[in-house]
Each structure stands twice: as structure tokens, then as C-alpha cells.
Amino acid sequence: MKLPKLTAFIFSSILLASCSQADDIFNDNNYVGNALPMSGAQEVPAVTTGASGSINASYNRLSRILSYKVSFSGLSGNATAAHIHGTAEAGFIAGVLQSFSGFPAKTAGTYSGTLYVDGIKIKEAELLAGWYYVNIHTAANSGGEIRGQLILKN
């Protein structure tokens, strides 16, 4: 009688430990950035604007997918373009890595998308170091009206 109880206890312990390890592996591979601010002050050079925005982003190291939602309002005119730029820390500029196809040509709105971190054009180490940013352009601010750095935390 004691042997089946001991076996059940050992099996349950192994099962719980493996679930805990699976949760740790899953959590260790997820990075998020919630309500990352976008502003004209983050542009280089800084832009005086009443516009603002935010980015919610998540990245999973196992799937290598970056998901993002950009919200913005108060632009000086309709958005003419939006991109992910890199590699550049805050205060520096960089080239376009990914254009947002179908970005709303409005003064306020939201846009969601995903991006595959391929390790060639978009690199995981650079993403996790915060060297990519989102930029929204308008006719009045063709270099970008608001910008937000993608800062993801585990």
C-alpha cells in the first residue's frame, strides 16, 4: 500500500516540477513594453507638437515574433508614413527597417501589426537592447512628428 502512494507522490512531484520549468521557460522568453510613450521630444531633432502616442509591444523569443499596437492622437496633419527604425538608442537617428503598410492617414488612430525577427535585417539582440523605435511622419514633419523607443522587459 505504501508503494503506490509513494509512486503517486513521486509522479505528482515530477509533473509539478516539469510544469514549473515549462512556465519558467515560457516566461523567460517573453518580453513586453506597455504604454511606451511617443512624443515630439523624442524626435532628433526634437519637434514641438501637441501630438502624443503610445506603443504596446510584445516579443516571444521562441516564435521570434514582435507584436505591436501603436496609438496616436493630435498630429499636426494626417499621418503620411510610419516605420520601425533601427539601430539607434534614444537621441540618435537610424534608417527605416520596416514600413507600416496601411497605416491610417489620420491625425489620430491605432495600428497593429507583427514582425518576424529574422536575425539578419531585424536582430533580436538589438531589439532587446532597445535600439529600435517607431516613428510617425506628417507633411509638416516629414522627418517624423512623434517617436517612441521600443523598450521591452522580461
Instruction: Assign residue 41 the CATH number of its domain.
Output: 2.60.40
Rounded Cα gap, residues 109 and 99, in angstroms: 17
In a domain, 10, yes or no: no
Whole domain around residue 85: which residue ranges? Answer: 30-149
Note the pLDDT tens digit of each residue in 52-92: 999 999 999 999 999 999 999 999 999 999 999 999 999 99
In a domain, 47, yes or no: yes
In a domain, 21, yes or no: no
How many folded domains does the chain comprise? 1
Note the pLDDT tens digit of each residue in 3-33: 565 555 555 555 445 444 444 444 689 999 9
Q: What percent of the chain has pLDDT over 70?
A: 82
- pLDDT of 22 reads 47
For residue 135, the tally of other CB atoms under 10 A from its CB is: 24
Q: Which of 59, 41, 57 is nearest to 49 (CA)?
A: 41
